[in-house]
Amino acid sequence: MTTPADARYRARGVSSAKEDVHQAIAHLDAGLFPGAFCKVLPDLLSGDPESCLVLHADGAGTKSSLAYLAWRESGDVGVWKGIAQDSLVMNLDDCACAGAIGPYLVSNTIGRNAKRIPGEVIAAIIAGYGEVCASLEAEGITCHLAGGETADVGDLVRTVIVDSTIACRLPRREVIDASRMAAGDVIIGFSSTGRARWEGVDNAGIGSNGLTGARHELLAKHYAQSYPESHAPEIDPDFVYSGPYRLQDPLPDSSMSIGQALLSPTRTYVPLIRDLIDALGVERIHGLIHASGGAHAKIGKFGHGKRYILDALPPPPPLFRAIQAAAQVDWREMYTVYNCGVRLLAVVPEACAQACLDAAKAAQIDSWVVGRVEDATAGAANSVHLQTAFGDFSY
């Protein structure tokens, strides 16, 4: 099928841009630092004028539908631990991009269909939260589980939804305000693949974005027939599990299976971000961008009157190539939905580039100078320009 990419997303009831949602919240106040990666509030809890707070919500999204398929086929509840990591890290990394590197307080809201999801799955998810916190603690990052709520909501939820909310307090002077990104800055990209210092297994890099598309584009009709509860019945059947693979099939050019690759838990970059702050000082980190929803177009939402040139991104890793090959969507679209191998960008003065690369090396994460910041012509809005082996794309 060669339907345009945007039509493919909409056919599946997702949109990387979520225009109607952004319109619904456009009137809400933007917080103390409207240019920061996530909303930063006055410290309304303690009233301290030198401090600020982040209260941030996000979740594993439809990656839990994928875990459901893997669990049902293998019987291994271990896959659910990764969903806890996905749900938590999507929050941690957003907050850390604003400079909030802990201590974090974590709460979760799990909605399940009790007819499909037994207590052992909930136990595995909750154990997963604990394991992520323990691995962060070993890196000196404190993440405390405050509690949560698991609700039986089968009339709302087909299988299970796993969301998290985290709170973090920090001095206002330590906030990373991405509106500081300046012409002449370089953009460092940090790999989403491989095995970071705090990881026990290799990561395929997918994170928790674009999973509705990736799952349907890669997986085969078998899953529609065997697990109709794993997708919205409103989707045109042509777009449901329209891919060539089963979970246990090998991912081309990789030692991982399709299932292992898609279920790779979202890497947290928080220990690396802490190391970057330690090495450079907050004031020299002009921006940290979590390439989550919106992927590499996302940086264009931050700063003012800038051209972000990304002309040296590394080649997309195997999982992203497989998704593109199965979906037959343009790479222009791929780079706005998937991180394509780089899920964190740091924008720093050129003189700080080497320190970033060194910190990444110590974290056992590949990194590159992937681009630079320029001023736009007077009065022009931000724009993002990718130069890739697949063509040049502007957003």
Q: What is the smallest separation between the CB atom of 100 and its own copies, expressed in angstroms?
A: 11
Strands 306-310 and 383-388: parallel
Question: Cα dist. 107→59, 97, 147, 168, 208 in Å?
Answer: 11, 20, 5, 12, 18
**Cβ-based nearer residue to its own copies, 230 or 266:** 230
As a whole number of angstroms, the distance between CA 320 and CA 296 comes to: 14
Nearer to its own copies, 116 or 385 (CB): 116
Q: Which is nearer to its own copies, 133 or 356 (CB)?
A: 133
- In sequence order, what are the residues at sequence separation of 6 or more whose Cβ sits closer than 8 angstroms to the Cβ of residue 47? none
Amino acid residing at 255: S
Nearer to its own copies, 121 or 373 (CB): 121
CA–CA dist 342, 294 (Å, integer): 13
Query: Omega into 103 within 30° of 0, i.e. cis?
Result: yes
- Write out the two tokens for 93: 């990394």
CB of 21 to its own copies, least distance (A): 5
Handedness of CA 87, 88, 91, 94 (dihedral sign): negative
- Render 2-45 in DSSP notation, one character per residue: ---HHHHHHHTT--SS-HHHHHHHTTS---S-TTBSS--EE-TT
Closest separation in Å from C-beta 93 to its own copies: 14
**CA 146 from chain center: how many Å?**
23
User: Of the two residues 147 and 200, which places its CB atom closer to its own copies in the complex?
Assistant: 147
CA distance 336 to 347: 19
Q: How far is the CB of 89 from its own copies (least distance, A)?
A: 14
Angstrom distance (rounded) from CA 294 to CA 17: 7
Least gap, CB of 269 to its own copies (angstroms):
19
- Residue written as token pair 């964190």: 344
For its own copies, give the closer residue by CB, 71 or 393.
71
Nearer to its own copies, 16 or 203 (CB): 16
Q: Least distance (Å) from its own copies to the CB of residue 214?
A: 12
* Residue nearer to its own copies on the CB measure, 159 or 260: 159
Q: Which of 267, 285, 266, 265 is nearest to 275 (CA)?
A: 285
* Calpha distance 191→269 (Å, rounded): 10
d(CA 240, CA 341): 26
Nearer to its own copies, 87 or 191 (CB): 87
CB contact set of 255 (below 8 Å; sequence gap of 6+): 202
**What is the closest distance, in whole angstroms, from the C-beta atom of residue 108 to its own copies in the complex?**
7
CB of 370 to its own copies, least distance (A): 27
Q: CB 95 → its own copies: shortest distance, Å?
A: 12
The least CB distance from residue 302 to its own copies, in Å, is 16
Indicate the residue among 20 and 389 with the shorter CB distance to its own copies.
20
